[in-house]
Amino acid sequence: MWTSRSLGMHAKPVVVLDPWDDLAGLRSLVAGLAEQGFVRPGVGDHLVWTTDVDAALDAVERGLHLGGAVGAP
């Protein structure tokens, strides 16, 4: 899903719900890849990281209201 988002195939939000911080390493890896130039700058900007179910659902709802169409920001 993240790859298709990066390729402009959709504009749906990519929400990572991590209530116990199990994915902290993944979050650091994504940030590090961008900082070191292995991925385009801003590639992780559309990722929403949250530890709260309500915040995750709100992020999905906000994304759906943005249209989620191909080519949309």
Q: What integer pLDDT is reported at residue 72 of this predicted model?
A: 35
CA 28 – CA 26 distance, rounded (Å): 5
Q: What is the dihedral of CA 9, 73, 61, 13, to 10 degrees?
A: 50
d(CA 73, CA 16) in angstroms, rounded, equals 19
DSSP codes joined into one string, 55-70? HHHHHHHHHHHT---T
The SS3 call for residue 16 is: strand
Which residue from 34, 15, 11, 35 is spatially nearest to 23, judged by alpha carbons?
A: 15
Q: Digits of tens for pLDDT over the chain (73 positions)?
A: 667 777 788 777 789 999 999 999 999 998 898 899 998 887 778 788 999 999 999 988 887 665 443 333 3
